[in-house]
């Protein structure tokens, strides 16, 4: 099979699954839709793995350097002679890694959902949405054109919106999907402006051309670095705005507020979208434009690094206090993506300096495995207990042995215990940070210790702590303890992912992915691993002492550091801050201009965008009183205003 056909099929098959199930399957064979979707996904996975294999071992390498190949490309919308929107598929190490991750995790989630979602009313719809999401995500990673990536970016957002709001009769799910949509839309507005800025100066939307024009000295590069706004060059503005889009999708501080709420969606969806694939799109985007960042705009890379490391630590602290197991995992995801971000941020272009780039993608790869495993394991637990709250759990190790072992492996992997996948990738990131920036390095070490602590807090709370007994008061869940651990469709993905959470660490990743395409042989220093590993093990022991048996120590500790604890418990009040800024500050300033604006401010409404709109338009409505004579007056006032401004005032400025 030729590459172009293969890469055409890779996104086309999930799209076909979506259309088939959505248009036909939903009505005529709803029960069978799951199997159909899974089989199509299996085919997609096989094709993408084969293509990636061929790329990495046969066609991709020329003279020891991995090439950027264009599998196919056609012009979709020509805007002017030079600027056109293309649709195509790019083949390079990062896109090949991504299609493997996306299709594989998607396949696991497809299989898992056969058991997890069984008996849901909208089972077929669920599978069609999964197909839509997979299609969009594959289109995103294969993009050859910054505008193509934007289109799929939005499509990914839409399918994420649909899946978060899957339980649309649950008000919290609807609110969460809305929040995710609005926050990411806001970020995407920045992304779009960034695209406009970059494409305006480079005169192209094509990635390859854009990167070439912005990394090699030439008229475009001079123009974009000399043009500026508020003392910052247009290049930095453009890249930062694009990064804003990436930060929105990847839940970087301060645009992370949607991710924890997104856990309202079905758990397998959280595993697929909000752990392994969509949320790393921001990392992928920065990596795609990495040469521009590294060569022409190191300042931008610093911003990426600091935002990444701050988000990472911030999320880790919050994760230590949450009791909803999916929220713990959500914050842990945010923290790990922060890791990937700052790894990119500390990297340079080419050779040894590019270690961070390799490490970032290595971590992306291993993280996809163990985080998907954690979510799927958590899903099995929720399936069994019918609750998200870790206080309802405890002692589950005897009831769910397979889940227990799989979950333990994932926890060891994310904590960075030697021998497991997370250890290798995290070690590489820490080495890269150590070589470049001590502040980031020490923050990262602290975060690694926190990670080990909160993961094992979660683990001991679920599987040890007190003895589990089903809630007998819940009469309609009365048959809980009769059903077993989980059906095989759910256990099989857990086992596969558990094996991969160990095995993927041994891949010599530097041979495949590096900033400049040449193989990177990173040396492993035993000495540098001693500190993070001993901290991680120490943190695990502390978690064990606290949570293995029910005792009062954790509460006491929480009592002594009350300020930090309550702060973290309330996610450092970021949501409240957003409400404060939108409700109080924005309206407050409006209020000083016009006093009557104030009474609407105090009342305030929950949904901030609606509030802004409704209050502002309230005042406008007074203009619209239905009297034609006052319309004429406003008309005349408008004319007079323009006349005053342009006839009398304009020249004076």
Partner 1 sequence: MDMNFFILMKPELLLTGLIFIIMFAKIANLAENNGRFLILVNTLLVLNFVAGFFMNQEGTLFSGMYITSDSMAFEKNILNGGMMLISLMAYDWMMRCKNTPEYYMLLLSAQLGMFFLISSGNFLMFYLAMELATIPLAALSNFDLDRPKSSEAAFKSIMSSAFASAIMLFGLSLMYGTTGTLDFAEMQMLVTGSSLQVLAFIFVFAGIAFKLSLVPFHLWTADVYEGSPVPVTATLAVISKATFIFVFMSTMFTVFANFFMVWDKVVMISIIATITIGNFMAVRQTNLKRVLAFSSIAQMGYLLLGVASTSVQGASSVLYFMLIYVFSSVAIFAVVGLIFYQTGKEDVADLRGFYKNNKLLSWVMAVALFSLAGIPPTAGFFGKYFLLTSGAAKGDYIVLTVAILNMIVSLYYYLRIVKAMFIDKSENDFERISVSPIVTVSIVVCIAGVLLTGMSGEVYEQIKSLFLASN
CA distance 269 to 396: 24
H or E element, residue 66:
strand 65-66
Angle (deg, nearest 10), helices 355-385 and 421-436: 140
Q: Is 230 in the site for partner 1 (CB under 8 A)?
A: no
Of these, 62, 65, 78, 467, which contacts partner 1 (CB under 8 A)?
78
Taking the complex as a whole, how short is the minimal distance between the CB of residue 261 and partner 1, in angstroms?
18
- Taking CB under 8 A as the binding criterion, the range among 16-24, 181-189, 286-294, 362-370 that sits at the site for partner 1 is 181-189
Of these, 1, 589, 643, 649, which contacts partner 1 (CB under 8 A)?
643
**Residue in 453, 600, 614 with CA at minimum distance from that of residue 535:** 453
Question: What does each C-alpha distance from 531 to 434, 457, 538 come to in angstroms?
Answer: 12, 21, 10
CA distance 348 to 355: 8
Length reported for the chain: 653
- Taking CB under 8 A as the binding criterion, the range among 23-31, 184-192, 414-422, 512-520 that sits at the site for partner 1 is 184-192
**Can you name the residues that pair with 324 across neighbouring β-strands?**
389
How many residues bind partner 1, per CB under 8 A? 54
CA distance 593 to 566: 37
In contact, 286 and 137? CB cutoff 8 Å: no
Taking the complex as a whole, how short is the minimal distance between the CB of residue 624 and partner 1, in angstroms?
6
Q: Is 653 in the site for partner 1 (CB under 8 A)?
A: no
Of these, 196, 232, 557, 649, which contacts partner 1 (CB under 8 A)?
196
User: Where are the extended beta strands (E) located within 167-272?
Assistant: 228-229, 232-233
Binding characters for partner 1, 447-486, by CB under 8 A (x = yes) = ----------------------------------------
Q: Is 28 in the site for partner 1 (CB under 8 A)?
A: no
Of these, 29, 72, 76, 578, which contacts partner 1 (CB under 8 A)?
76
Taking the complex as a whole, how short is the minimal distance between the CB of residue 290 and partner 1, in angstroms?
25
Nearer to partner 1 by Cβ, of 10 and 197: the residue is 197
CA distance 413 to 137: 26
CA distance 150 to 246: 11
User: Where are the extended beta strands (E) located within 416-541?
Assistant: none
Nearer to partner 1 by Cβ, of 154 and 389: the residue is 154
CA distance 364 to 93: 13
Nearer to partner 1 by Cβ, of 231 and 626: the residue is 626
CA angle 375, 10, 50 (to 5 degrees): 90
Nearer to partner 1 by Cβ, of 60 and 190: the residue is 190
Of these, 59, 218, 637, 649, which contacts partner 1 (CB under 8 A)?
637
Spatial neighbors of 193 by CB under 8 A, at least 6 apart, are: 241
Nearer to partner 1 by Cβ, of 561 and 645: the residue is 645
Of these, 439, 442, 642, 649, which contacts partner 1 (CB under 8 A)?
642
Of these, 75, 82, 219, 222, which contacts partner 1 (CB under 8 A)?
75
Q: Is 79 in the site for partner 1 (CB under 8 A)?
A: yes
Of these, 120, 154, 208, 485, which contacts partner 1 (CB under 8 A)?
154
Nearer to partner 1 by Cβ, of 206 and 428: the residue is 206
Sign of torsion, CA 508 510 511 512? positive
Q: Is 185 in the site for partner 1 (CB under 8 A)?
A: yes
Tokens of 166: 């899957």
**Residue in 111, 106, 108, 104 with CA at minimum distance from that of residue 50:** 104
| Environment class of 164 (CB within 10 Å of its CB; exposed 0-12, middle 13-18, buried 19+) | buried
In contact, 108 and 376? CB cutoff 8 Å: yes
Taking the complex as a whole, how short is the minimal distance between the CB of residue 77 and partner 1, in angstroms?
4
CA distance 317 to 314: 5
Which positions from 582 through 611 interact with partner 1, judged by CB under 8 A?
A: 609-610
Q: Is 171 in the site for partner 1 (CB under 8 A)?
A: no
Q: Is 200 in the site for partner 1 (CB under 8 A)?
A: yes
Q: Which residues of this chain interact with partner 1, rule CB under 8 A?
A: 75-80, 84-85, 151, 154-155, 168, 174, 182, 185-186, 189, 192-193, 196-197, 199-200, 229, 609-610, 612-614, 616-618, 620-621, 623-624, 626, 628, 630-632, 634-639, 641-643, 645-647, 650
């Amino acid at each position: 099979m030729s590459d172009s056909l293969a890469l055409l099929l890779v996104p086309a098959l999930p799209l076909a699954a979506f259309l088939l199930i959505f248009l036909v399957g939903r009505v005529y064979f709803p029960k069978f839709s799951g199997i159909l979707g899974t089989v199509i996904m299996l085919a997609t996975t096989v094709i993408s793995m084969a293509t990636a294999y061929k790329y990495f071992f046969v066609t991709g390498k020329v003279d020891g350097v991995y090439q950027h190949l264009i599998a196919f490309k056609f012009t979709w919308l020509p805007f002017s002679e030079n600027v056109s929107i293309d649709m195509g598929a790019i083949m390079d190490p990062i896109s090949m890694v991504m299609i493997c991750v996306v299709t594989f995790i998607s396949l696991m989630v497809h299989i898992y959902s056969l058991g997890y979602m069984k008996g849901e009313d909208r089972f077929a719809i669920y599978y069609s949405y999964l197909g839509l999401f997979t299609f969009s995500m594959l289109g995103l990673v294969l993009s050859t054109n910054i505008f193509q990536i934007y289109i799929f970016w939005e499509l990914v957002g839409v399918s994420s919106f649909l899946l978060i709001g899957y339980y649309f009769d649950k008000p919290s799910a609807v609110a969460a999907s809305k929040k995710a949509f609005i926050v990411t839309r806001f970020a995407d507005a920045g992304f779009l402006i960034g695209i406009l800025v970059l494409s305006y100066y480079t005169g192209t939307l094509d990635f390859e051309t854009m990167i070439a024009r912005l990394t090699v000295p030439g008229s475009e590069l001079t123009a974009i670095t000399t043009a500026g706004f508020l003392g910052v060059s247009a290049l930095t503005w453009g890249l930062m705005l694009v990064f804003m889009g990436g930060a929105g999708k990847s839940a970087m501080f301060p645009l992370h507020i949607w991710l924890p709420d997104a856990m309202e969606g079905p758990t397998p969806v959280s595993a697929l979208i909000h752990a392994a694939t969509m949320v790393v799109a921001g990392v992928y985007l920065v990596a795609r434009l990495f040469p521009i960042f590294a060569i022409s705009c190191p300042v931008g890379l610093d911003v990426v690094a600091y935002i990444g490391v701050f988000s990472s630590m911030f999320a880790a602290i919050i994760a230590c206090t949450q009791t909803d197991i999916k929220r713990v995992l959500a914050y842990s995801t945010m923290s790990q993506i922060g890791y990937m971000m700052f790894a990119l941020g500390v990297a340079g272009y080419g050779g040894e300096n590019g270690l961070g780039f390799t490490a970032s993608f290595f971590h992306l790869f291993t993280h996809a495995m163990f985080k998907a495993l954690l979510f799927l394991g958590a899903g099995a637990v929720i399936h069994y207990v019918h609750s998200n709250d870790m206080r309802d759990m405890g002692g589950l190790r005897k009831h769910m042995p397979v889940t227990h072992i799989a979950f333990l492996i994932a926890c060891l992997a994310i904590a960075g215990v030697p021998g497991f996948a997370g250890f290798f990738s995290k070690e590489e990131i820490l080495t890269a940070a150590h070589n470049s920036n001590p502040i980031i390095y020490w923050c990262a070490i602290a975060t690694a210790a926190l990670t080990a602590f909160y993961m094992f807090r979660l683990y001991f709370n679920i599987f040890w702590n007190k003895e589990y007994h089903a809630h007998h008061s819940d009469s309609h869940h009365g048959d809980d303890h009769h059903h077993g651990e989980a059906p095989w469709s759910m256990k099989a993905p857990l086992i596969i992912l558990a094996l991969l959470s160990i095995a993927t660490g041994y891949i010599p990743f530097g041979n495949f992915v590096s900033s400049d395409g040449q193989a990177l042989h990173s040396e492993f220093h035993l000495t540098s691993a001693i500190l993070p590993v001993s901290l991680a093990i120490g943190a695990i022991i502390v978690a064990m002492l606290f949570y293995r048996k029910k005792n009062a120590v954790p509460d006491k500790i929480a009592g002594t550091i009350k300020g930090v604890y309550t702060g973290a418990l309330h996610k450092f009040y970021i949501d409240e801050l957003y409400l404060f800024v939108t409700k109080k500050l924005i309206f407050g300033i409006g209020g000083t201009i016009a006093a009557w604006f104030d009474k609407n401010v105090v009342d305030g409404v929950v949904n901030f965008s609606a509030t802004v709109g409704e209050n502002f338009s309230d005042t406008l409505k007074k203009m619209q009183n239905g009297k034609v004579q006052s319309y004429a007056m406003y008309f005349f006032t408008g004319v007079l205003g323009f006349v005053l401004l342009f006839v009398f005032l304009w020249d004076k400025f």
